[in-house]
Amino acid sequence: MERVFVTGANGLIGSNLCHKLSELGYEVVGLVREKSNLLGLRGFKGRIVKGDILDEAALAKLMEGADYVFNTAGLVSFDNRLREKLFRVNVDGARNVVEAALKARVKRLVHTSSVAAIGIPVAGDIADESVEYNRFKYGVAYGDSKHYGEVEVRKGVERGLDAVVVNPGSIMGQRDVYMHSGILLKILKGMKVVPYVSGGMCSVGADDVVDGEIAALRLGWVGERYVLGSENITFKDLFGKICSLVGAPPPSVRIPLSVARGAASFLELLSSFTGKPPVLTKAHVVSATLPHYFSSDKAMRDLGYKPRPILDAIRKSYEWYVVNGLM
């Protein structure tokens, strides 16, 4: 039986990946940090180990004996005040995983990046994997950190590591214990009037990302990266799909970006007193102004990737939250 080591095993991608790999007959070892929320791993039949991708020596020891590694660990935040932490986790952590994978002589590493690590196309508004990162001037720390995380993986490939990168869009689905995208369901559910901003994003379901990760393990080309998306959708249409499930009215009030910037500044200030992360940040607003639509054609062609409608993922996310008392 082949052994698979999954970092970030309690996260949205990691937990769903662990369950799927176990169902497929792999021996799965999931890495989580101390005091992690393990709700998403309930019923998982593999082994859970405690550790941190920032501890290179311990990571290398835990990875010994693994045939394959999925690096899904990472910090997802559009709060630029966390820039140092984002780089520590998403860049230094990626470097440590690469070093450990080289020492463990694994057959393949699948590294989870993000569409945020792909650049803005010169013409048009649909980007693919060939667009090099060119977003530094916008100062979105999350995208910068994911880009440099990929740089560390490429360095590993140059040293002989068999590695593939996947770039998911904004993920929705079951087991989102930290409510990254899932927070939208909770916010919109209680609204009487639903606002929205112009722009849109590449959205994808957790099940699609898991399928893409496993296909990348089996079929991906060494050193290549693959966008994993489902629908390029406007914020108004996305909010509308969510509202139809949670019982809220459809979005009807478009908020000017200037107002959104002001709200983001206020919420960031408020969070400095409450200690809770802001649901809207200035980096969110900046990202909303940039082309954020991506093509998954390469993954469809090379990996046989077949994404589902995003409404399926929203429904699974909502049902999971309800069953677990999180709404």
Q: How confident is the model at residue 95 (pLDDT cuts 50, 70, 90)?
A: very high
Q: Which architecture does CATH list for 3-172+203-230+293-308? A: 3-Layer(aba) Sandwich (3.40)
pLDDT at 32: 97
pLDDT of 260 reads 83
Q: What percent of the chain has pLDDT over 90?
A: 81
Tell me: the pLDDT tens digits for 22-39? 999 999 999 999 989 999
pLDDT confidence of residue 123: 76
* pLDDT on residue 38: 94
- DSSP code, position 4: E
Q: Using the predicted structure, report yes or no on whether residue 40 has a pLDDT greater than 90.
A: yes
3-state secondary structure of 46: coil
Residue written as token pair 């890495």: 31
pLDDT (average), residues 47-58: 95
Q: Which tokens in the block code for residue 41?
A: 């791993």
Whether residue 206 is predicted with pLDDT greater than 90 in this model: the reply is: yes
Give the residue among 133, 125, 128 at the shortest CA–CA distance from 149: 133
Rounded Cα distance between 128 and 290, Å, is: 15
Higher-pLDDT residue of 204, 266: 204
Q: Give pLDDT tens digits for 220-264.
A: 999 999 999 999 999 999 999 999 999 999 999 998 888 888 888
Q: Which DSSP symbol is given to 277?
A: P
Least confident of 187-191, 196-200, 277-281: 277-281
Using alpha carbons, list the distances in angstroms from residue 28 to 20, 89, 108, 317. 10, 23, 15, 24
* Strand, helix or coil for residue 279: coil
Tell whether the model's pLDDT for residue 128 goes beyond 80. Answer: yes
Strand order in the sheet with 3-7: 47-50, 27-32, 3-7, 68-71, 108-112, 163-168, 225-228
- In the chain, the DSSP E strands lie at 3-7, 27-32, 47-50, 68-71, 108-112, 126-127, 163-168, 170-172, 195-196, 200-205, 225-228, 231-234, 253-254, 293-294
Mean pLDDT for the chain?
Answer: 94
- In this structure, how many other beta carbons lie within 10 angstroms of the beta carbon of residue 158? 9
Report domain extents, the chain: 3-172+203-230+293-308
pLDDT tens across 280-318, in order? 888 888 888 888 899 999 999 999 999 999 999 999 999
pLDDT at residue 285, rounded to an integer? 85
Q: pLDDT-based confidence at 269, cuts 50/70/90?
A: confident
**84 pLDDT tier (thresholds 50, 70, 90):** very high
Look-up of token digits 């969510």:
242
Confidence check: pLDDT of 185 > 90: yes
Q: Euclidean distance between the first and final Cα of the chain, in Å?
A: 39
Q: Tell me the mean pLDDT in the region 261-269.
A: 85
In this prediction the pTM is 0.95
pLDDT, position 327: 84
pLDDT band with cut points at 50, 70 and 90 for residue 211? very high
